[in-house]
């Protein structure tokens, strides 16, 4: 009984994934081109033919005619099982999603009157983030009269960048409102 439920759950997940694939492909009577280039189920080119003839060939084989290349001058259609095609596309999309690398942005906050040792500790943390492949957003908030010392804040940002060995500046230190921000990323290998 439990095994049966597990198979139902697996089937449901696969069905939902296939169902949520965007339907970018036109099938059978949805294709509005008068003539199309046709490729059969084994991959052989059948040549250019009227759409009605192509649909009738697909129906004879109990398959679907799918528009794979909607080029205005030379549209290409394939004769295949559309449900299997959608399943394969879902599988490929899932594999591509697994191989994606997500880059996170870690934030380090500094203050305009930070001590040298505190700056070194934060630089060490930033270098750890960069070594794992993440980007680092370095921000400094100015309060009250501290806004008069923006140039001093930029100097602190530059010394912070110099403390980190394998980093490059993506976005220079820029004042946005009361915050001074700079973005760092790992140095590209040449």
Strand partners, 168: 185
Please report the pLDDT score of residue 109 as a whole number: 92
Q: Are 170 and 103 in contact (CB under 8 A)?
A: no
Looking at domain 2-99, its CATH architecture is Roll (3.10)
Q: Are 173 and 158 in contact (CB under 8 A)?
A: yes
- CATH dotted code for 105-186: 3.30.110.10
Please state the domain extents for the chain: 2-99, 105-186
Distances, alpha carbon 126 to alpha carbons 17, 28, 136, 169, 188, in Å: 39, 56, 7, 13, 16
Please report the pLDDT score of residue 23 as a whole number: 54
Please report the pLDDT score of residue 139 as a whole number: 92
pLDDT in tens, the chain (190 residues): 455 555 554 454 444 444 444 456 777 777 777 888 888 877 788 888 888 888 888 888 888 888 877 777 788 888 888 888 888 888 888 888 877 777 788 899 998 888 899 999 999 999 998 888 888 999 999 888 888 888 888 898 889 888 888 888 888 888 888 888 999 888 876 5
Please report the pLDDT score of residue 20 as a whole number: 46
């Amino acid at each position: 009984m439990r095994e049966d439920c597990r198979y139902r759950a697996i089937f449901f997940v696969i069905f939902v994934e296939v169902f949520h694939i965007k339907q970018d492909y036109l099938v059978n009577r949805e294709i509005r081109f008068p003539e199309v280039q046709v490729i059969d189920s084994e991959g052989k080119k059948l040549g250019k033919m009227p759409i009605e003839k192509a649909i009738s060939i697909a129906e004879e084989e109990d398959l679907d005619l799918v528009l794979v290349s909607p080029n205005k001058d030379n549209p290409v259609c394939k004769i295949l099982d559309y449900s299997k095609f959608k399943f394969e596309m879902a599988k490929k999309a899932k594999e591509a999603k697994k191989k994606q690398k997500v880059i996170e942005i870690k934030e380090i906050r500094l203050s305009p009157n930070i001590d040298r040792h505190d700056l070194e500790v934060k630089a060490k943390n930033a270098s750890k983030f960069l070594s794992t492949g993440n980007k680092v957003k370095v921000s400094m908030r100015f309060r009250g009269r501290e806004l008069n010392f923006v140039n001093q804040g930029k100097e602190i940002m530059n010394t912070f960048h110099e403390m980190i060995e394998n980093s490059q500046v993506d976005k220079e230190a820029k004042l946005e409102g009361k915050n001074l921000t700079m973005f760092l990323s790992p140095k590209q290998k040449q």
